[in-house]
Amino acid sequence: MAQIVKRAYKYRFYPTPEQAGELARTFGCVRLVYNKALEERTRAYRLEGRRVSYVESSARLTEWKRSGKFDFLFEVSSVPLQQALRHLQAAFANFFAKRAKYPTFKSRKKSRASAEYTRSAFRWRDGELTLAKMDTPLAIVWSRPLPEGAQPSTVTVSRDSAGRWFVSLLVEEKLIPLPPAGRSVGVDAGITALAALSTGEKIDNPQHERADRRRLAKAQRALARKEKGSNNRAKARVKVARVYARIADRRRDHLHKVTTRLVLENQVIAVEDLTVRTMVRNRSLARAISDASWRELRSMLEYKARWYGRTVVAVDRWFPSSKLCSQCGALRKKMPLNVREWMCACGAVHDRDVNAARNVLAAGLAESRNACGAGVRPQRESSRTGDRL
């Protein structure tokens, strides 16, 4: 059955000097409004014990504009400013629901520069996008087409630390689930290989950060030599950001290709419920784990599976997939990380990662068949320290 989903299509664009100036002012005003509203909400919460609503914050924004101190707020579109207050409202809702930490102030240097426009603040006509307070449309590079007949409901403009400009268009799209696939696969995330599959295949890990490590180190050394606050330091910081952007772009592209292929080919995808936040505390492996980006890999699998009628099953993180023989079910007491192949007493010879993927698949299929939805934990380990990478 087809489903209507909201999808964001992100494109790079090249603003004129006038557009760049207008957007830079808008980013600054959005940051100012967000921080002032957060400051007042924090004061009311800590000193008076009360919560400030979005309506109150919106009224305060009107007062700031009329006070004479912030006349420059009239120079930019009011919609991004209101959207900033809505984002702050959502941040507090998540905090009070214990889904997130307390909201923090936006930094000019560290925070993402962005502004969100709703339908009343932009014009979409004949494939051209014109934002409020601008006379000419944005010069967008259409790297892929929008869905036929799509009408953006929200437009988000951003500039990354490397100085690149992006526009993200949120549109409604009808997605038709793929025909059922007769295959299922278990995925064991790793470092040497990005993923080992239960089919015996190993997907290479390009290690993009490692490949550009010398270039990154050179750019960082050049940055460290520049005087703080100087224009040369600002230029050097952009060069470092460009190296990081290149690494992130290549990594994301590879993950998209891998996850799309897995979703297209398999009906059920079983993965381990890894706690990446805890695992990166290992100083010896933190850099390699971050470069592999396991969390993003799983996130992509999950939302693509929802789009196309597939199922992703997360197996308990304590499930001893590496120590368990996928042939006879025997459990070994120890399995050091340097053991990449091993032989079971039943005579089966296992590749450590492929064997783990097969066990993850078996546990995932058992869990997906469980009518109650409870996790299957046939043999649970007491500790994960130093295991399963």
pLDDT score, position 337: 80
CB burial readout 205-234, b (16+ within 10 A) else e: bebbbeebeeebeebeebbeeeeeeeeebe
pLDDT score, position 378: 43
3-state secondary structure of 165: strand
76 close to 26: Cβ distance less than 8 angstroms: yes
pLDDT score, position 319: 87
Ordered alpha helix ranges (H), the chain: 17-43, 54-66, 78-96, 208-211, 213-225, 231-265, 276-279, 286-292, 294-308, 352-369
Cite the active site residues.
188, 272, 353
- Residue 249: phi, psi to the nearest 5? -65, -45
pLDDT score, position 387: 39
Please name which of 353, 376, 339 lies closest in space to residue 199, comparing C-alpha atoms: 353
Q: How far apart are CA 356 and CA 156, in angstroms?
A: 42
**Residues β-bridged to residue 314:** 271
Q: How far apart are CA 116 and CA 168, in angstroms?
A: 9
Sign of CA dihedral 91, 96, 98, 104: positive
3-state secondary structure of 72: helix
Please name which of 120, 115, 45 lies closest in space to residue 86, comparing C-alpha atoms: 115
pLDDT score, position 382: 41
- The whole-number mean pLDDT for each consecutive block of 10 residues of the chain, a chain of 389 residues, reads 87 97 96 96 89 93 92 95 97 94 90 93 94 96 91 95 95 89 91 91 91 93 94 94 94 95 94 83 82 91 92 89 87 83 86 91 85 43 38
* One-character DSSP codes across 75-108: GS-HHHHHHHHHHHHHHHHHHHTTSSPPP-PPPT
pLDDT score, position 13: 97
Please name which of 351, 350, 375 lies closest in space to residue 365, comparing C-alpha atoms: 375
